[in-house]
Copies of this chain bind each other. A is one copy, B any other.
């Protein structure tokens, strides 16, 4: 069994999710040809990463990603830091001959993303992007059913990713609301996931027409919040939101299908509602991440008296990834998507193949995001 020594950059939300995946993957998928070893985690401040390392299961820690990349004992660099750092780290890692696994969006700009792909290709290293929603068993199944022609020629994609965590105008100006750090708002943070699912299930997007909106243009600065200044105080420091609160877009696919995608953080009641409906000539499918163990499927060739959306519990042994877990009906959760990513990554390494999705998918997604931003300025359709 090949051992892959991993160095992880970032110990926040994504760092925790990836750490869990490295710990759990070998317990449930022991036979895929490679197994990760949790060598080092990297982050700042030093005190934070020092505490995180044992808590998350890492052998050692670093506070400089350059040191991490320079370590001879590391085979794979996993990048979970903010988007504005991805390109530099990934390119350096590739040049150092490391396998690179990067959180989405691949970068904050298309140019950066392309440079990352080029660097990885030149270095001939394996690369993967963490579009973890592809690894939900129901989503993998949906893509397989399209490939097999079960729903026929695809006509419609109807994607939406809704959250509600910044509806309150007093929610502060965190880094995710600042363009220099986050690149974009709902568009790149969550819209990117749905765009990737559209590509995964329907195919390449040829044209987009998009619109970005910022409903709440000023928010209290974090320092003002921290110091407890009254929300009503005229002296409260306000800052400008520089990213989109919501993005809506029309899509045309290479294969003639059309679609809509919406990403918003202003949909009260929707917590992590990454969802789609896809309609084809033979049937339709429906997915919603908040019920991620289910896939709804409608088939036109069911008997005429008994046609209806069937709600498949995607928890059977025959379903993708599921055999490694629990009996039918014993559902899995969000974190399992990352475990499946690591499983696929290790399998690819073991078989010496390129993982999927990889930086090429990251670039393709970034190209669509970029097109949406161009369309938002030109007020019309643009080619992706």
Chain A residues with CB under 8 Å of chain B are 13, 17, 20, 23-24, 27, 30, 55-57, 141, 145, 150-151, 155-156, 158, 160, 162-165, 167, 169, 209, 211, 213, 215, 246, 248-250, 252, 256, 258-260, 262, 264, 266-273, 277, 279-284, 289-300, 302, 304-313, 315-316, 318-319, 325-336, 378-381
Contact A307 B56 (CB under 8 A): no
In the assembled complex, the CB of A174 is this many whole angstroms from the nearest CB of chain B, namely 13
In the complex where A211-B258, A248-B250 touch, is A270 in contact with B284 (Cβ < 8 A)? yes
The number of times this chain is found in the oligomer is 4
Checking B268, B311, B335 against A280 with a beta-carbon cut-off of 8 angstroms, the contacting residue is: B268
Residues of B within 8 A of A155 (CB): 215, 246, 264, 266-267
Q: Please, which residues of chain B bring their CB within 8 A of the CB of A293?
A: 290, 333
User: A279 to B271, Cβ gap below 8 A?
Assistant: no
- Taking the closest CB of chain B, its distance from the CB of A21, in whole angstroms, is 12
The 5 closest A-B pairs by CB, nearest first: A271-B329, A380-B380, A272-B329, A269-B298, A310-B310
Known: A167-B281, A309-B311, A310-B306. A211 touches B211 (CB 8 A): no
Nearest neighbor of A380 in chain B, beta-carbon distance: B380
Whether the pair A211, B268 counts as a contact (CB closer than 8 A) is no
A293 CA to B319 CA, complexed, in Å: 21
